């Protein structure tokens, strides 16, 4: 997808740049590597760090970064060294220990690397980067150290979050400017629609919806409601796990990238999976964004448009308190009716009931205002890369 991408810039390299290793195991989907790659790029481009990323699944990574090459054990991309983490014990062909070590999402560092960390003249700063959660207890545990049972090392827990006292979430310095440029340029938006969908932008009375979700039984009801909508709905669907439901609804053998279909007042475009800057443009081009997991959830908040979150499902509904915690932050200033409507819709989209599109649409003006205000509030927490580097500087003096 073409887009006006954030220009992260290239700061002057410090005389003694901080070296940072990020370890990432791709558990499922693209969220793990998506977060790690965004963080790596910010640390390198905005803070001048020398960054190396260990990742075990280059195929998933390549979806987000098409210029990645699958064969090499080591390559440099966008100024960042990428190591193919082939097995848990592997720590690169040449064992090097960085000043800052980031263990993403409890992936567990190679034992040989931990041993080398302990033998280093000055122990590195070791972060365990946790998954994002909006729950209140996050602030209490953010930046707490955990001593290693065998070595003179401590791991610091770094918790992304939506409220004060947490690590915040990732946001590039120039993201707001890039969004404003896209939204303020008719030519940029028209080019985006033609390049991505092969069609001109939709009419002004259409509601544009991006749909990025896990498999979801609620989608069938929602597609029917969009089909019967009083005004046009234009659906933008990145190819993925929800594509099969679209194919069934439209009576097609598949809903692969490049497919276009119409039923009633619903028209839908299947889009190719895109690199990260292209996904931001998709969010900016839409009126309402359906997002999933962690990375797209964060990007939707910076897009300052109403959104619906499909949280990653966990056993025993352990994900629902996290969903409610995010709703509590996001809906804090909404009226009681709008807050209740959005809560019902989010819960229905996450398996509890039937989503009511008409009710959602009635509150759209209030949700649109809240989305813009929330992006400003969230920025006050500070961005994750900036918060991490600020803390690291205090520890590496």
Residue tagged 């990653």 (tokens): 312
- Residue linked to tokens 């090459």: 69
Lookup result for tokens 């443009």: 281
Q: Given 32, 83, 280, 383, which residue is catalytic?
A: 32
Residue whose pair of structure tokens reads 């034992």 in the numeric block: 111
Contact 116, 94 (CB under 8 A): no
Compute the CA torsion angle 76, 81, 83, 88 (nearest 10 deg): -170
> In sequence order, what are the residues at sequence separation of 6 or more whose Cβ sits closer than 8 angstroms to the Cβ of residue 282?
1, 196, 210, 236, 238, 271, 274
Active site residue 337: no
- Within a 10 A sphere around the Cβ of 184, how many other Cβ atoms? 9
Rounded CA separation 92/150 (Å): 23
Residue 21: strand pairing partners:
52, 101
CB 95 within 8 A of CB 111: no
Residues 6+ apart with CB under 8 A from 372: 304
Radius of gyration of the chain (CA): 22
Q: Is 294 a catalytic residue?
A: yes
Region of 26 please: left (phi>0), alpha (psi -120 to 50) or beta: beta
Catalytic residue chosen out of the listed positions 172, 294, 295, 383? 294
Closest-CA residue to 309 (of 292, 321, 294): 292
d(CA 114, CA 109): 7
Q: What Å distances lie between residue 124 and 10, 94, 300, CA to CA?
A: 25, 18, 34
The catalytic residue positions are: 32, 294
């Amino acid at each position: 997808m073409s887009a006006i991408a954030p220009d992260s810039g290239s700061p002057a390299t410090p005389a003694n740049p901080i070296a940072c290793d990020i370890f990432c195991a791709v558990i499922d989907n693209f969220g793990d590597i998506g977060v790690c790659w965004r963080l790596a790029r910010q640390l390198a481009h905005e803070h001048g760090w020398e960054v190396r990323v260990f990742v075990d699944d280059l195929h998933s990574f390549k979806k987000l970064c098409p210029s990645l090459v699958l064969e090499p054990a080591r390559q440099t991309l966008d100024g960042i060294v990428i190591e193919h983490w082939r097995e848990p014990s592997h720590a690169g062909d040449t064992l090097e220990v960085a000043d800052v070590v980031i263990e993403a999402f409890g992936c567990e560092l190679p034992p040989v690397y931990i041993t080398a960390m302990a033998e280093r003249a000055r122990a590195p700063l070791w972060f365990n980067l946790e998954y994002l959660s909006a729950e209140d207890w996050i602030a209490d545990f953010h930046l707490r150290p955990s001593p290693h049972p065998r070595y003179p090392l401590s791991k610091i827990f770094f918790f992304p979050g939506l409220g004060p006292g947490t690590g915040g979430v990732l946001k590039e310095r120039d993201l707001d400017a890039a969004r404003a440029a896209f939204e303020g340029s008719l030519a940029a938006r028209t080019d985006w629609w033609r390049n991505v969908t092969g069609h001109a932008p939709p009419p002004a009375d259409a509601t544009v919806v991006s749909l990025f979700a896990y498999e979801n039984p609620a989608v069938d009801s929602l597609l029917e409601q969009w089909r019967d909508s009083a005004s046009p709905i234009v659906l933008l669907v990145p190819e993925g796990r929800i594509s099969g439901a679209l194919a069934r609804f439209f009576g097609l053998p598949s809903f692969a990238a490049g497919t276009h279909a119409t039923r009633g007042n619903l028209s839908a475009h299947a889009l190719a999976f895109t690199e990260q800057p292209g996904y931001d443009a998709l969010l900016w081009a839409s009126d309402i964004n359906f997002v999933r997991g962690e990375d797209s959830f964060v990007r939707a908040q910076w897009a300052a448009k109403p959104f619906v979150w499909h949280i990653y499902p966990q056993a025993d509904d352990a994900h629902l308190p996290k969903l409610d915690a995010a709703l509590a932050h996001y809906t804090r200033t909404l009226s009681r009716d709008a807050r209740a409507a959005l809560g019902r819709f989010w819960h229905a989209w996450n398996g509890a009931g039937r989503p009511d599109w008409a009710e959602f649409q009635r509150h759209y003006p209030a949700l649109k205002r809240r989305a813009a205000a929330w992006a400003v509030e969230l920025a006050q927490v500070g961005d994750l890369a900036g918060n991490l580097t600020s803390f690291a500087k205090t520890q590496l003096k």
